[in-house]
Amino acid sequence: MLRRELSIMFRAQVTWLQAALSALLVGHSFVLATDLYSAGSRSALTNRLMSREFDPLLGIVRPTLGGLYFAVSLLGAVVAVRPLAIEKERRTFHSLLLQTTSPMRVLATQGVAGVMSLALQAIAPIGLFGLWVVLGGHLALGETAAALLGQALYVILVAALAMAAAAWTNTLAQAATATIVIVAASWAIDASEGFAALAWLGRALDWSVSTHLTPMERGTLSFGACLWMGVTTIGAFAIAYVGTRFDVPRRRRVAFAILIMALTAGAGLGANRVRIVFDCTEFNRVSLPPAVSAGLREIPGAVSLEVYLDRDDARRQQLEGDVVVKLRLARSDVEVRTPLDEQPAPAVGERDEGYGRIIVHVGDQTRVTYSTSRKEIVTLLFEATGRPVPDWSTAEYPGYPLVIDGQRRTLTLLIAYLGLPAACILAGLWSTRTMRGRSP
C-alpha cells in the first residue's frame, strides 16, 4: 500500500514543482546570506577580534533554513494533503477503507507519503550547505544537525496538520486552505512578540512553532521543544484518525476531536515546562564558561529573575535571548517573571520609577540591578549566596570569515537559481514518465 501512495505522490507534477519552487526560495535566501557574510568578512579577514563575530550558523545556516521554513509553510500544505484529499475528492476513500479494513494503516501510509513528498524540499538546503563547504566555508556538524532536526520535525508537523485538515474536509482545495490557515495562525502569534500592547498574547507564544524552532536554529537541542513538536504531531494525526472514522456518528467524532485537542493542549503545556537543553554548538559558545556553569548548578535553593521591562524594550529582548538562555543551559530550573506583562492595559510611553530594574532572587536573598549584562547578573547570583565568582575564562571561538566573489560567486548563483530548481524539475519529469510507463 505504501508503494501505491508513493507512486501517486511522486508521479504528480505538483510534487516536483513545489520542490523546484522551494529550491528557488531557499537558493535566494542562501545567496543573500552569502553576500552579506562576504561583505562583512572583507574587513574581518585582517582583524582577529572581528573575525570571532562571524558565525556560519547564524550567518548562513539560519537564513537559509528560514527560506525552507517559508516554503514548507506555504507549498507544503498543497502537497501534504494530496494522499487523503484526492481519495476523498474522487470518492474512493470509503472503498479503500473497506479493502484494508484498517483506517490507521491507511492514514499511516498516506502520512509517510506526505512526509516524503515534503522532504524533497530538504534537497536544496543540504546541497547548498555542501556547496558552502566546497567553497571553503566552515560548518560544525553538531549545531548544523540540530538546526536541520528542527526543520525535519516541522516538516512532519505540517504533514500531520495537512492530514487532519484533509480528514475533516471534502475537497483538495478545502484541505489545503485549512492547512494554510492553521499555519498562518502561528505567524499571527509571532507577530505579537515584542509589542507591549499585545502583552496579553504572551502565553499564546507557547503555541508558536517559531518559539520552538528558535533554540535549535541557535545550535541547541531543546528536549522540551522536540517534545512539544512530537505531542502536537501526534495530536494532529489522532484528529485525522477520528475524522476518517465514518462508522462513528459525526457528533461523536466532533466530541472526540475536541477531547483530543484538549489533551494535546495539556500535553503541550507540560512539554513547555521541560527545560532540558543541550548545547551542540562548537566550543559550547552558547553556554556560560564551564566553571561558572558548574558553580551555578551548585547554588542551593531556587533561582529566579523578576524583570521590569516592557516586551518591546530592546534590553528585555537581549536579556531573554542571551542571559536567560545561558542561565537555563546551566540550570534548567531558573524562573523568569515579567510583572509588567500582567498589566491589563499598559500605558504607552509611561514609565514607573523602578522601570528597568531586574531583581535577582536566590533562595531568600535578593539583589537589584539595572544592567542586562550576563556577567553582572551572574555575579549577583554568586554574591547573594556569599560565594566568589568562578573563573570566567572559556575557549575562544575563532570565527570563520569567508569572502565568496568572482567565479565562486558565479558558481553559487548558477547552482542556487538554476541548478537545483532545474534538477528538481528534471527529476520530476523522469519520475513521472517512469512511473506512468510502469502503470498498467
Q: What angle do CA 416, 419, 421 make, to 5 degrees?
A: 80
Let me know whether 166 and 41 are in one domain: yes
Beta carbons of 388 and 399 less than 8 angstroms apart: no
Question: How many structural domains comprise the chain?
Answer: 2
Q: Which of 356, 384, 412 is the last residue of a domain?
A: 384
Let me know whether 81 and 208 are in one domain: yes
Average pLDDT for the chain: 88
Q: Which of the residue ranges 11-15, 291-295, 402-406 would you say has the lowest mean pLDDT?
A: 11-15
Cell reading at 26? 531557499
Residue 168 pLDDT: 92
Residue 425 is assigned to a structural domain of this protein: yes
How many Cβ atoms sit within 10 Å of the Cβ of residue 66? Answer: 17
Beta carbons of 84 and 137 less than 8 angstroms apart: no
Let me know whether 96 and 161 are in one domain: yes
The predicted-structure confidence for 250-268, as pLDDT tens digits, reads as follows 899 999 999 999 999 999 9
- Percentage of the chain with pLDDT > 90? 57
Cell reading at 274? 521541560
177, with CB counted inside 10 A (0-12, 13-18, 19+), is middle
The predicted-structure confidence for 263-288, as pLDDT tens digits, reads as follows 999 999 999 989 889 999 999 999 99
Q: Is the pLDDT of residue 192 over 70?
A: no
The predicted-structure confidence for 329-347, as pLDDT tens digits, reads as follows 999 999 999 888 776 555 5
Higher confidence at residue 205 or residue 305? Answer: 305
Q: Work out the pLDDT band at 297, boundaries 50, 70, 90.
A: very high
CATH number at residue 373: 3.40.30.10
Give the whole-angstrom CA distance, residue 110 versus residue 118.
12
Beta carbons of 26 and 71 less than 8 angstroms apart: yes
First-to-last alpha carbon distance for the chain, in angstroms, is: 16
Q: Is the pLDDT of residue 203 over 80?
A: no
Q: Work out the pLDDT band at 200, boundaries 50, 70, 90.
A: low
Q: Is the pLDDT of residue 105 over 60?
A: yes
Let me know whether 264 and 117 are in one domain: yes
Cα distances (angstroms) measured from residue 359 to each of 75, 178, 308, 309, 382: 46, 45, 8, 11, 14
Model pTM score: 0.89
Residue 284 is assigned to a structural domain of this protein: no
Helix axes 82-89, 2-10, angle to 10 degrees: 90
Let me know whether 186 and 314 are in one domain: no
Residue 435 pLDDT: 55
Let me know whether 321 and 214 are in one domain: no
Residue 419 is assigned to a structural domain of this protein: yes
Beta carbons of 380 and 367 less than 8 angstroms apart: yes
Q: Work out the pLDDT band at 208, boundaries 50, 70, 90.
A: confident
